[in-house]
Amino acid sequence: MAETGVSLPPLPVPDELTKPFWDAAREGRLHIQRCQACRRYYHPPQVICPKCVSSSLEFEAVSGKGTIHSFSVMRDQRVQGFEEKVPYITVLVELDEQPLLTIVTNLPDAAPEDVRTGLRVEVWFERLTDEITLPQFRLAR
Amino acid sequence: MSRLKDKVAAVGVGYSAIERTSSRSLGALTMEAIRRAVEDAGLAIEDIDGLATFPEIPVFGNPHVDGVDVVSTSYMVRMLGLEGRLRWHTQTDNLVPNTFIETANAVAAGACDYAVIFRAMHNPGGRYNAYTSNLAVGRHQFTAPYGSHRGYQYYGSAYQRYMHLYGATREHMATLILNNRRNAHLNPNAYFRDVPLTKEDYMNARMLADPVCLLDCDIPVDGAAAIVLTSGERARALPNAPAYVAGYGQFSSPSLSMGPPLEHLVEGATAVADRMWEAAGIGPGDIRLAQFYDGYSFFVYFWLEACGFCKVGEAFEFIQDGRIELEGELPVNTFGGQLGEGRLHGMGHLAEAVLQTSGRAGERQVRSVDATLAAVGPMNGGSAAIVFTREPV
Ligand SMILES: [Zn+2]
């Protein structure tokens, strides 16, 4: 693995529940699942709304804007495909649409010393394959 | 109020050797731990009619081969020759305190007379719990593609937020790390029994994922531990002073958010702690010492606050000035924690609570232990906390 120098980062495998998320990302849009009965957002997606038990859950476009809730600067080689990327930043972004509606992302363009809790961020899209595009974030201008 | 009061007591504790990599199989280590626990209780293997464990290796992609990297209840039934004798057994999900609680309830209900709870942990070698697939399926699809996999990243982010909100520093944490290591020096079972540690060692330790360094993480080991439970009445006829199970709290819903965010960890631990106090009928002021889960060092802060020993955002100050040392007002992780003893996934915390309550903790015994607690787990989902008392009521 690490020795070969050719390992790739883990590629998302969309499933029945998550396919709409990845379909939207491929087209450059951030869609998050929302309960059509109580209007609550969920990420990761749910089968039944845990708050109101409605099965009416649809994906809706969100603003792609949010705030850095917390972060970590990874220095250890412990994830395949990321051996050459250390140190890299993983961020928990709180999306504007709902308190503690969080999404994990990197800030590929930022240096560790530029990252602080509370900074504003916005989504962009990193194309990995024909099928998979990864929502990523950057510091808001 | 708890139905368990005066009904169930822990009467024996046993450890296998704890090594980084053992030359013996995990199955053999588990037999050793169980035999020692049963002998410690003043019983024979033939007396055991209840058996329970949490058989899991929390490592990405490990094969789960019985006796090699996990040990199931049915495996041990056969190895101990208990097939014709056993009256009750179970395997639980979630962490081992939940197994303990299941077993306590089985004993209280009369389903078995003498039950053993065991936990076996295997260190597979190489880089512990690395992500070694080029695919990210299920819950991994929203994390692994971003290089996020290890708890020191995602729980570490919650710690980063804690530090940001309340002003905690790595220097504050050094106090806890050194406290655990000092206590490990007094624990014959501890992996780090003979390895000294200084504040400089901690401050200069290799960073795994800021703000978490190597010494904030427990040490993966090969090893097993076991505890014997029986009824209060039977316990009083056995040689050791019983550690009565006074009450417990368990279950907090897993976070629905990614992270999980600090706020949900606090919420989860508080739900568990509140139920524990209600069931035990006592409060933080009655507790002489406490064992808090330290798979990651900072979990201790969250548990201290959730259990009400200090206010939210104050644990990093609470642990200073000798307060959590053996001679202090609330000794914490008196066996060295998992940071000092090794990664037995919460079993060490339960074992130490039993030994201290029973007055059998050797050189590290705290005086006048009327009540103690063990709070185990990563706050939300899978966590549980148990109060032990020296007297049955
Ligand atoms: Zn709903």
Structure confidence by residue, pLDDT tens digits, A48-84? 999 999 999 999 999 999 999 999 999 999 999 999 9
Residue B355's pLDDT band, with cuts at 50, 70 and 90, is very high
The dihedral sign for the CA sequence B30, B36, B40, B44? positive
In a domain, B192, yes or no: no
Read off the pLDDT of each residue in B43-54 and give the average, rounded to a whole number.
Answer: 98
pLDDT digits (tens, 9 = 90+) for A75-105: 999 999 999 999 999 999 999 999 999 999 9
Closest residue to B153, CB basis, from A1, A44, A72? A72
Record: contact B209-A101, CB cut-off 8 A: no
Evaluate whether residue B141 is within a structural domain: no
Q: B130 contacts in A (CB within 8 Å)?
A: 78-80
Q: What is the pLDDT of residues B318-340, one digit of tens each?
A: 999 999 999 999 999 999 999 99
The residue type at B385: A
Chain A residues in contact with B132 by the CB 8 A cut-off are 1, 80
B157: which chain A residues are within 8 Å (Cβ-Cβ)?
Answer: 69-72, 90-92
Q: How many CB atoms are closer than 10 A to CB B125? A: 10
Are A100 and B136 inside 8 Å of each other by CB?
A: no
The residues in A 51-80 lying below 8 A from B, measured between CB atoms, are 69-80
Using alpha carbons, select from B2, B1, B14 the residue that is nearest to residue B348.
B14
Check pLDDT > 90 for residue A4: no
pLDDT-derived band at A1, boundaries 50, 70, 90: very low
Q: Say how far apart CA B325 and CA B6 lie, in whole Å.
A: 30
Full domain range(s) for residue B62:
8-126+220-389
Domain residues of chain A, as ranges? 19-139
pLDDT at A2 over 70: no
Query: What mean pLDDT comes out for the span A19-47?
Result: 98
Question: What residues in B contact A72, CB-CB < 8 Å?
Answer: 148, 152-154, 156-157, 160, 209-212
Mean pLDDT of all residues in B139-150: 97
Q: How far is the CA of A19 from the centre of ligand 1 (A)?
A: 20
- pLDDT bracket for residue B381 (50, 70, 90): confident
pLDDT at B5 over 80: no
Cβ partners under 8 Å of residue B19, min gap 6: B191, B221, B222, B223
pLDDT digits (tens, 9 = 90+) for B93-127: 889 999 999 999 999 999 999 999 999 999 998 88
Residue A110 has pLDDT above 90, yes or no: yes
- Residue B203 domain-assigned (yes or no): no
Q: What is the pLDDT of residues B272-297, one digit of tens each?
A: 999 999 999 999 999 999 999 999 99
Q: Calculate how far, in angstroms, residue B260's C-alpha sits from the geometric centre of ligand 1.
A: 20
**Percentage of the residues of chain B whose pLDDT score is greater than 90:** 93
Does the interface predicted TM-score (ipTM) exceed 0.85? Answer: yes
Q: Are A121 and A137 in contact (CB under 8 A)?
A: yes
What confidence score (pLDDT) does residue B97 get? 96
Task: Give backbone dihedrals phi and psi of A39, rounded to 5 degrees, phi first.
Answer: 70, 15
**A37 CA from centroid of ligand 1 (Å):** 5
Question: What pLDDT, on the 0 to 100 scale, is given for residue A6?
Answer: 61
| Mutation to test the A interface, candidates B137, B143, B256, most A Cβ within 10 Å | B256
Interface contact A104-B158, CB threshold 8 A:
no
Q: What span, in angstroms and rounded, lies between the C-alpha atoms of B315 and B375?
A: 15
The overall average pLDDT reported for chain B is 96
What is the pLDDT at residue B164? 98
Give the model's pLDDT for residue B263.
96
Nearest CA among B90, B95, B58 for reference residue B251: B95
Q: Mean pLDDT throughout B55-79?
A: 94
Q: CA-CA distance, B234 to B244, in Å (whole number)? A: 12
**Closest alpha carbon within chain A to B133:** A10
Compute, in angstroms, the gap from residue B138 CA to the centroid of ligand 1: 22
- What is the structure's pLDDT at B3? 66
pLDDT, residue B1, reads 44
pLDDT at position B380: 78
Check CB contact under 8 Å for A9 and B145.
yes
Specify the pLDDT at position A3.
Answer: 47
Structural domain includes residue B167: no
Binary contact (B209, A9; C-beta < 8 A):
no
Task: Domain count for chain B, please give it.
Answer: 1
Q: Is A74 close to B153, i.e. CB distance below 8 A?
A: yes
Say if A129 is an interface residue toward chain B (CB within 8 Å). Answer: no
Ligand 1 is an ion; residues with CB less than 5 A from it: A 35, 37-38, 49, 51-52, 54
DSSP letter string, B41-60: TT--GGG--EEEE-----ST
pLDDT band at B234 (very low <50, low <70, confident <90, very high): very high
Residues 230-259 of B with CB under 8 A from A: 256-259
CATH of the domain at B362: 3.40.47.10
Please state which of the ranges A1-5, A128-132, B59-63, B365-369 shows the lowest mean pLDDT: A1-5
Element (H, E) at B175: helix B170-184
Please check whether residue A115 touches B, CB under 8 A.
Answer: no
**Position B382 in a domain:** yes
User: Per the domain annotation, does B355 fall within a domain?
Assistant: yes
Ligand 1 centroid to residue A61 C-alpha, Å: 17
